[in-house]
Amino acid sequence: MQEVTGSIPVGPTKIYVMITEMDVKKQLYKSKVNAKFSHYVSGNLYYTVELEDGTYQFPISTIERIEFGTEETAYRDSYYLSSDLGTTSFYNEVKGSELNRWIAKAIKSGDFIKVG
Residue 108, classified by CB atoms within 10 Å of its CB into exposed (0-12), middle (13-18) or buried (19+), is: exposed
Q: What pLDDT is stored for residue 55 in this prediction? A: 93
Number of domains in the chain: 1
Question: Given the DSSP bridges, would you call strands 93-95 and 76-81 parallel, antiparallel or unpaired?
Answer: unpaired
Under-50 pLDDT residues of the chain: 1-9, 11, 13-16
> Which runs of consecutive H residues, i.e. helices, occur in 2-83?
21-31
Q: Is the pTM of this model over 0.75?
A: no
Q: What residues form DSSP beta bridges with 54?
A: 51
Q: What is the mean pLDDT of the chain?
A: 82
The range of the structural domain enclosing residue 9 comes to 2-114
